[in-house]
Amino acid sequence: MSGESDETGPIDYLVIEFPVGSRMTGEGLPLLVDLVDRGIIRIMDLIFVRKNQDGTVEGLELSEVTGDGGDDLAVFEGASSGLLGQDDIDEASTVLEPGSAAGILIYENVWAGPLAAALRRSGGRLVANGRIPIQEVLASLDAAESTV
């Protein structure tokens, strides 16, 4: 393994849907840029799509996504590692409602790279991972509070 790939952190993806009637305000874009600037994540792929009423999916230009806030996202224009292919876009679009738009993001968890490399060097290997949906966490916390 090369030095850079030896310390690569876990790679995750997100598909963020903006249903019909919602507004993409760009409010989250400065926060995404901040995560990159602080070296917490590295954007590998970022695209935006729209699912038309007939079920077809088309790419969106940055200006269609951000309106006046395009400058924040312009730093990611052309971000493409080759990990995100048309098959992935097609699969992601199956969960989108017709008329909605979505951002598809692949990112490296840079913060975890040194830890992951140390664990690999000591013989450790990832055998499972996952996420707990925030709705489940909140429901569990609410249930715990109601029993107190």
Residue-level pLDDT at 2: 46
Say if residues 122 and 14 touch (Cβ distance below 8 Å): no
Residue-level pLDDT at 24: 72
Alpha helix stretches (DSSP H) within the chain: 3-6, 29-37, 62-66, 70-74, 86-93, 113-121, 134-146
Separation between Cα atoms, residue 119 and residue 117, nearest integer Å: 5
The answer, yes or no, to whether residue 111 has pLDDT greater than 60, is yes
Q: How many CB atoms lie within 10 A of CB 93?
A: 20
Per-residue pLDDT of 10-29, as tens digits, reads 999 999 999 988 877 778 88
Separation between Cα atoms, residue 102 and residue 92, nearest integer Å: 9
- Burial readout 74-85 (b: 16 or more C-beta within 10 A, e: otherwise): eebeebeeeebe
**pTM for this model (two decimals):** 0.79
Q: Under DSSP, is residue 107 helix (H, G, I), strand (E, B) or coil?
A: strand
Q: Residue 12's beta-bridge partner residues?
A: 107
Amino acid at 10: P
Residue-level pLDDT at 37: 93
Q: Under DSSP, is residue 22 helix (H, G, I), strand (E, B) or coil?
A: coil
Per-residue pLDDT of 42-51, as tens digits, reads 999 998 899 9
